[in-house]
Structure 1
């Protein structure tokens, strides 16, 4: 038989189409925020724990920290199928419980501080478990949100999920530093167990959306439907990658002092753009918004490349954050238009996988660029790569102008 484009979730949205979608998404946004607080708290603390307490070098630190990225990438397919088949609410709940289990692994690792190798392996396992939880939370929340408010509000769902994630990173980092100063890594481990469980209280009474699929869909099939907007996301995410990975090194090399204001400028512009203009991809079209926003992002990166004062670099990071903020849901709306309804969570997982791949490749490649041509060359390279996503947005627009509408593929079962 062939799945129809309609699905059980559609009944959840048809009866109250007039309800404010942002209000309906609020509990899910709060759930994602709480779930990602644990990741944000660990960002500044885990490398210090590995180096100072366990005596590990940069290679081991890179492997343990990077393990979460790799595990997140490889678990997107599993998490997306889980959400589509078992239900998005169940996926989010399972993700929160899984994230809490990663905290338990951190606690166990502290019992082996005197045997650093064992402690590191336990931390590595904790990072992998956390990544699996993160995949379930993100893919589940995206699919659930679209099921609740309808695909016509897909851009808002992605925009508010992004606000929750990046807000959690921004607030989680100083919270993690505070906990570490007061109670050491034990404070981080205990918090990592209990904080995700708090989100269960928020999500408990949110209306569930019926599962949209009855069988597992191969990841490559969905990847084929979203690869064009996914490629746009991969190119424009390079700007985000070079700012987060190399802005501190640029400031240090120029003697501009603390780079934390650059991160603040990026974060405020990112969240501000989503609050003020998060509705535009749904209203104007994802490709149109992406087309403009990647230009803003590329200009921001060029400003950082040519900056001769810290103030110009701050302006550059703000423009980069602003542009990238709306490019993500812009290309994402195009991905949703191409995704069959019964595999929507899996399609969202496939789309976000392009971000994982992009960030995974950006740091090492930019490192090679910096070692050969200087740290500022990273930002010129970033601007050129982001400009490629302009071509992708143009391709999406031209495809629509030629009458090649995105028709969701119907998978046989």
Structure 2
């Protein structure tokens, strides 16, 4: 079932990209629209897609996938964007995109399993140490709403949000340790990071909804781009299919939608991963809705709520049906969401700030996690390598995105350490 799901996801996603219906890379949607409207050739579109997505697949998707042994959705869907747009949009090009997309998905899953087994044959098995990459992410994720508030409203409000979130977290810790909360004699354990996260998101939403559009300044996005909305609705069946497949794959713990929920899932915390995915989805609704309405090109994962469905569903079949339903509802509500975003520009603007805050937090957390993992693999040398790698990457103009420096650096240290152990230059850490 796992292999079937991944093959189908790869095939359907590649077809959606090939037919200019949906692409995963947010920055590609306006460019695909340029091609659809005749202002860009297919060749230029293909090269642009490759340039925008290939580096993210290699430098972002694959390292996270390997570090947790769970497929980060970016690994497969950024790849299918490239595959779909590189193949011609005709009677033989579209089926070819499906075949290559399916094979690419299968290759990811097979390669992942084979890669995990390969570690047992290495002089120094550093797979377990790689788990340290995501450890800081789980703890620090609760701080992103406070950062988003500071970026959008004021540092003062951000500090207040952070302090209250931290207090709520410690209150949850105290309640868990004291065993005060009980239901029918059973002690209830609260997730302290989850409680802090919810608190921060409440502050963010309250501040955002206080910003209303000035009279006469609102533009009805749904009315202006009604033909684009109609095009997306016409293709809703395709979105329902891939939405159900991805939700099912998430339920089986073989896929996650972002590094935070991926690391939580790797620790067996599916509920916490679902909460993190829900918080992330809130930030993506304004972006996906706005770009979809303006371009007529949707995202194969919609507002990313299908991952939340996958995490919280009791079994794979409920997840499959839930994914189908939720993405259908999303598409049907596009016009209403656009009008809501016009009414509350603070909510619309918060989407960009939420994503920026998450990115900044991940850059710091994953750098710390990568350094810890690298140092566990090669004590002393690990810290030295990550620090030098980060600084040289900055000096070179960031050929590797900051968010990937920690995981990529840790993998590099693992490879170097194995070479040194094989040469007898380094002892295996105890």
TM range (shorter): under 0.3
- Higher relative CO (Cα under 8 Å, sequence separation at least 6) belongs to 1
TM-score normalised according to structure 1 size = 0.27
Give the structure with the higher percent helix: 1
